[in-house]
């Protein structure tokens, strides 16, 4: 009995170790596991499948974000920037590292920052905001008129995706 338990636990550990090393194709061979540990193997296989799907979706969203020609900055529900795409870096002249952890409105001219905060609150509350036309202030002081769009669903989808990558 002890040998069977040790073998089953060893097989489960092998799969966990393989997955932790990044091999999301690894699965528990349920035919090799005794009945009392089989349900653990089944749950592990289900978790690996869900994690693989989430990783794939996250990678696809990241590729889309990076390829977007329009500037995009991802903001958490507290109004803090957590990411941006290369187009945002290009238009503002700021590196991604200069955005992360800063308030959402830092790239806008001073006189529009309070309105930007109100618009973010509206997006969080209602799922959308109207009249989002803003003036971006670049690192070298140029002013660029920009019309971003956002919905709560888009924000939450991107935020969930980005958090799963952390």
Question: In the numeric block, which tokens belong to residue 120?
Answer: 């973010």
Contact predicate 12/41, CB 8 Å: yes
**Once rounded to an integer, what is the mean pLDDT over residues 35-63?**
92
Q: What is the pLDDT of residue 5?
A: 81
Give tens-digit pLDDT for 26-43: 999 999 998 889 999 999
| Termini Cα distance of the chain | 42
Q: What pairs with residue 157 in β-bridges?
A: none
Query: What's the sign of the alpha-carbon dihedral 116, 64, 18, 51?
Result: positive
Beta bridge partners of 84: 73
> What are the tens digits of pLDDT across the range 72-102?
888 888 889 999 999 889 989 999 999 899 9
Local structure of 22: helix, strand or coil: coil
Write down the CATH superfamily of domain 68-165: PAS domain (3.30.450.20)
Q: Check the CA dihedral 10-16-21-22 and report its sign.
A: positive
- Distance, in Å, from the CA atom of 139 to the CA atom of 162, rounded to the nearest integer, reads 26
pLDDT given at position 1: 66
Percent of the residues in the chain that have a pLDDT greater than 70, as a whole number: 85
């Amino acid at each position: 009995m002890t040998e069977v338990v040790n073998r089953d636990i060893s097989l489960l550990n092998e799969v966990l170790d393989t997955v932790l090393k990044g091999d999301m194709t690894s699965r528990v061979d349920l035919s090799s596991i005794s009945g009392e540990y089989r349900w653990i193997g089944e749950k592990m296989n289900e978790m690996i499948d869900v994690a693989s799907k989430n990783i794939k979706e996250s990678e696809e969203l990241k590729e889309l974000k990076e390829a977007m020609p329009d500037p995009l900055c991802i903001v958490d529900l507290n109004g803090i920037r957590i990411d941006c795409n290369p187009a945002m870096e290009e238009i503002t002249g700021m590196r991604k590292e200069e955005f992360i952890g800063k308030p959402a409105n830092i790239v806008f001219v001073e006189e529009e920052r309070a309105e930007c905060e109100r618009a973010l609150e509206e997006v969080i509350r209602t799922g959308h905001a109207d009249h989002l036309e803003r003036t971006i202030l670049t690192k070298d002081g140029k002013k660029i008129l920009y019309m971003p769009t956002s919905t709560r669903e888009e924000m939450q989808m991107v935020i969930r995706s980005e958090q799963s990558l952390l």
